[in-house]
Structure 1
Amino acid sequence: MYQFKRILMGFCGVTLCGLCVGMLQKANLGVDPFTCFVTGIANIFGSTYSTFYLILTGILLFLVFILRRHYIGIATIINLLFTGVTADIMREFLNNAIPHPSLVIRWGLMLIAIVFTCLAAALYFTADLGVSAYDAIALIAAYKYRLLPFKYCRIITDSICVIIGFAFNVTLGIGTVITALFMGPLTQWFKVHIAEPLLSRNQLIKTA
């Protein structure tokens, strides 16, 4: 049962992350940094987000395999195969449901997506069944090489993605700035106050 709950946490985290990417794309107020990066590369080749998400994540996954394969697991594979597709599905659903959202709705979508993206990351970080290749880069810098605390490593990697995306003609917005500066700290907060206590309670139930 304990292992099943870890798998469920990882799966829910990855799925929720993909849905949030689609919401950010629909809000059109700036996407998260990695989406900014992937979208910029996809725009160059005139391809879809999901196609280049798979390609670029695969490249990062190879690097993670070399540096710290511990972070590769079932959640990593689910993230690689389904996050981009889930984002495209969510964006298409929202396009049909609210083809011309007001500014208030767009702000609401953006804020909800940012908060739940951080919660999603905290869930699959804590499940420890593998993380996305991109997330693993900041984790490796923080916990293997101990360069800086995780939240600062995440700010640095997010900022690099934003700069690259901007260089490749991706329009930045308030959502991009918010995620680049606050996603690391907010993810850490969710991890400490929600995800880790949830898993601890599961461990207590298992051993009771």
Structure 2
Amino acid sequence: MYQFRRIIMAFCGVVLCGFCVGMLQKANLGVDPFTCFVTGIANLFKSTYSTFYLILTGVLLVLVFILKKHYIGVATVINLFFTGVAADTMHHLLDIILPHPNLAMRSGLMVVAIIFTCLAAALYFTADLGVSAYDAISLIAAYQYRLLPFKYCRMITDSLCVLVGFLFNVTLGVGTIITALFMGPLTQWFRTHLAEPLLTRGQHAMA
């Protein structure tokens, strides 16, 4: 039952994250830091986003495998196959429900998406069944090498991604800045106050 709970947490976290990506795309007020980074590198080499998403994610996966392959697992596979589908599905639904959202609606979508992205990340981080290659970098820095608390490691990696995007002509938005500065601390808050107690209660129930 405990293992099943972890799988459900990982699956829900990944799918929720995908839904939030679709909401951010619909809000059109700035992409998340990793998308910003990939787009910037693609601009540098005058290539496409999809090409460099595969290349950079592959490089990060190799790095994670070398440093701490523990972070590659079931959730990594779920992330690979379900995040894009969930994002496209949410974006399609929002196109039907809100074909022409005004600025207030777009701002609301952005805020909700950022909050639930942090909740989603907290769920699949805590499930500890693997994470995305990008997420693993700040986790390794925080928990394996103990460079800084996780929230600060995430703020640093997100900010570096945004800087690279800015240097290579990626249009930034308020959503980009907010995610770069606040996703780390908010994700940590959700881990401490919701995800970890949820998993612990499941473990105690087994006992």
> 2:189 aligns to what?
189
- Counterpart code for 1:67: L
> Where do 5+ consecutive residues of structure 2 fail to align?
none
User: TM-score, normalising length from structure 1?
Assistant: 0.91
Aligned partner of 2:47 in structure 1 is 45
> What is the 5 A alignment of 1:9-88?
9-41=9-41, 44-46=46-48, 48=50, 52-88=52-88
| Letter in structure 2 aligned against 1:29 | L
Question: What is the TM-score when the length of structure 2 is the normalising length?
Answer: 0.91
Asked if structure 1 preserves the Cα contact closer than 8 Å seen for 2:39 and 2:49, the reply is no
Aligned residues: 205
2:47 maps to a residue whose letter is F
Change (3 A) 1:132 1:65: same
Task: Measure how far apart 1:94 and its partner are.
Answer: 2.2
More displaced stretch, 145-154 vs 116-125:
145-154
Question: Please, what is the CA RMSD of the aligned residues?
Answer: 1.8
Distance 1:183 1:105, change over 3 A: same
Q: Is the Cα–Cα contact under 8 Å of residues 11 and 124 in structure 1 kept in the other structure?
A: yes
Which ranges in structure 1 are unaligned for 5 or more consecutive residues? Answer: none
- Cα displacement string for residues 24-74 of structure 1 (whole angstroms, at most 9, x for unaligned residues): 1111111221122234456643455xx654443222111100110011110
**1:173, 1:19 → 2: CA distance?**
20
Percent of matched pairs sharing the same residue? 75
State whether residues 72 and 130 of structure 1, in contact with CA within 8 Å, keep that contact through their aligned partners in structure 2: yes
Q: Which residue of 2 aligns with 1:118?
A: 118
- The Cα of 1:169 is off from its aligned counterpart by 2.5
Separation in 2, partners of 1:45, 1:190: 37
Q: Distance in 1 between matches of 2:39 and 2:82?
A: 16
| Match of residue 142 from structure 1 | 142
**Residues 79/87 of structure 1: CA separation in 2 closer, same or farther (3 Å cut):** same
In structure 2, what is the Cα distance between the partners aligned to 1:167 and 1:81? 31
